[in-house]
Amino acid sequence: MAYIKLGNSDLEVSEISFGAWAIGGWMWGGTDEAAALRALEAAIDMGITSIDTAAVYGFGLSEEIVGKAIQGKRDKVQIMTKYGLRWDDTRGEFYFATKRNDGAPANIHIYAGKESIIRECEDSLRRLNTDYIDLYQQHWPDGTTPVEESMEALGQLIKQGKVRVAGGSNYSAEDMARAQTVVPQASNQVAYSMVKRGIEDEIVPYCIEHNIGIVVYSPMQRGILSGKIKPGHTFKPGDSRPDTPYYKKENIKRINDFLDNIKPVADGKGISLAQLVIRWTLQRPGISTVLVGIRNEEQLKENAVAMEFALSQEEMDTINKQLDELEILMDLS
């Protein structure tokens, strides 16, 4: 396993990180806590020591499961969690209405006021059963609160030893520049996949120039790039993926056609499409670590193979040529 320092900080993270959104169950059709705990423990044992979660994932459940898994292993792991999506506060920007795992309605607000962050940090520390967070990230920019105010809270938490380093999530280049004036930014966590490459235009160049780490989430585009989701796939109740453009009928077909075209690369190396996709993502410019959503040991073992090989420039070029010919339809109607 390779370990990478995030930006100018002293925080080292594993090149593949355990993405803990799915184990919270919310928006993923429920969870199996026992399976999640086994997967977390196995991941740590094999060197995947960086775990990314958030307060809102499962409305605290993901953090609680992570907290159970790290007991007795805290010095071996790096906990990356997030603040700023509130389901118990109406301040800030209304984000969207949803339902909790138990079916109860919930309204999500984006809010990152200074005193709110301090409170959220205490709540996350309690759920995680730890006294410090390695990387504390603003989940989404808050249009009602200047990022400088939010970073004042991070500076305070860092001085208190409750947070090691600060980072953003879904930050623009401007957000990063403003945040940097108050607290050094170790990283920016952003969505990036073979079929969602918008960060290459501005965010990647900015991060490379200013030595800010890039933490990638959804490299599998929530599973569709694994090749296991075919036209006509049936999703569990509560699964939000069918509401996104990538899971519309025509796009599922187009993505599967693309995967068929790059499958010879995977076959030639004796690997799965999922392993190929993760490795491609790791080798893209500026990427520090890739969050891989894992719900059980089977998924963990499959995805971990991506650490064991590299793609040649010729193989990368072959994949990129096919990507240039893939068009995703973004109209949801």
- Name the catalytic one among 3, 57, 95, 206: 57
Which tokens sit at 70?
């790290």
DSSP string of 244-292, one letter each residue: SGGGSHHHHHHHHHHHHHHHHHHHHHT--HHHHHHHHHHTSTTEEEEEE
Cα separations in angstroms, 156 against 20, 23, 118, 246:
27, 30, 9, 40
Q: Is-catalytic flag, 132?
A: no
User: What is the amino acid identity at position 249?
Assistant: K
288 Cβ neighbours under 8 A, 6+ residues apart: 4, 6, 7, 13, 15, 187, 213, 214, 215
Half-sphere exposure of residue 280: CA atoms within 13 angstroms, side-chain side: 27
Helices (H) and strands (E) in the chain, counts: 10, 13
> Can you list the positions of beta strands (E) in 170-226?
185-191, 213-217
CA dist., res. 185 & res. 176, Å (int) = 7
CA dist., res. 34 & res. 285, Å (int) = 37
Cα separations in angstroms, 232 against 229, 244, 251, 256, 331:
8, 15, 12, 12, 19
DSSP string of 48-88, one letter each residue: --EEE--TTTTTTHHHHHHHHHTTT-GGG-EEEEEE-EESS
Question: CB atoms < 10 A from the CB of 255, how many?
Answer: 21
Residues serving a catalytic function are 57
